[in-house]
């Protein structure tokens, strides 16, 4: 049996994508018992994040969380309210990796952000340019194809939910969690 020696991307991997773009890599992953269509793969993130709305949607209770007391900063540089962390399986194909998700109470169009721990544990190579994730399973290269249309919808949602201008009568976001 030929075993692939390298996980790589070529121009063929761009087929089906809109080029040129700067879209996030948004994929569907099985987290816990649910297929999550709004998982962003972020190779720059040192933490796996789950947003509170998704956590509640899993029918998990606050007592299912363990303490997490290290502060995290959001993209806008503000400290984010953390609810705790929880260990859940993330499955892709036949591969399962147990991931410690930090549960945070902040607005996001994504359900979860998958960072370096999952990427490294599974031996994943991701490419936002090609909108794919590739990994080795049973001696074969498998891939997860991202959804550019979802990534673009989420970008619009983020833009529409920017914090309102500071004033004496109005503070906060224009959107709710």
pLDDT tens-digit series, residues 105-126: 888 888 999 999 999 999 989 9
Three-point CA angle 107, 146, 163, nearest 5°: 20
Q: Cβ distance 81 to 43 under 8 Å?
A: no
Domain boundaries in the chain? 18-160
pLDDT of residue 177: 46
Query: Class for domain 18-160, per CATH?
Result: mainly beta
What's the whole-model pTM score? 0.79
Note the pLDDT tens digit of each residue in 64-116. Answer: 999 998 888 776 778 888 999 999 999 998 899 999 999 998 888 889 999 99
Q: Looking at the predicted structure, is the pLDDT value of residue 167 above 70?
A: no
Cα dist from 103 to 72, 126, 169, whole Å = 11, 24, 31
Q: Looking at the predicted structure, is the pLDDT value of residue 49 above 70?
A: yes
**Span 25-53, average pLDDT:** 92
To the nearest whole percent, how much of the chain has pLDDT over 90?
47
What confidence tier does 162 reach under pLDDT thresholds 50, 70, 90?
A: low
């Amino acid at each position: 049996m030929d075993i692939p020696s390298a996980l790589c991307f070529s121009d063929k991997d761009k087929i089906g994508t809109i080029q040129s773009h700067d879209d996030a890599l948004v994929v569907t992953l099985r987290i816990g018992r649910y297929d999550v269509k709004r998982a962003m793969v972020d190779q720059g993130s040192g933490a796996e994040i789950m947003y509170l709305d998704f956590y509640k949607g899993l029918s998990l209770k606050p007592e299912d969380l363990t303490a997490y007391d290290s502060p995290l900063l959001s993209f806008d540089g503000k400290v984010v309210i953390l609810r705790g962390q929880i260990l859940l399986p993330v499955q892709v194909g036949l591969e399962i990796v147990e991931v410690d998700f930090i549960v945070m109470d902040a607005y996001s169009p994504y359900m979860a952000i998958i960072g370096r721990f999952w990427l490294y544990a599974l031996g994943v190579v991701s490419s936002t340019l090609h909108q794919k994730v590739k990994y080795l399973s049973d001696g074969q290269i498998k891939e997860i194809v991202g959804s550019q249309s979802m990534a673009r919808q989420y970008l619009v949602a983020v833009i529409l939910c920017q914090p309102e201008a500071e004033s004496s009568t109005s503070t906060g976001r224009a959107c709710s969690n």
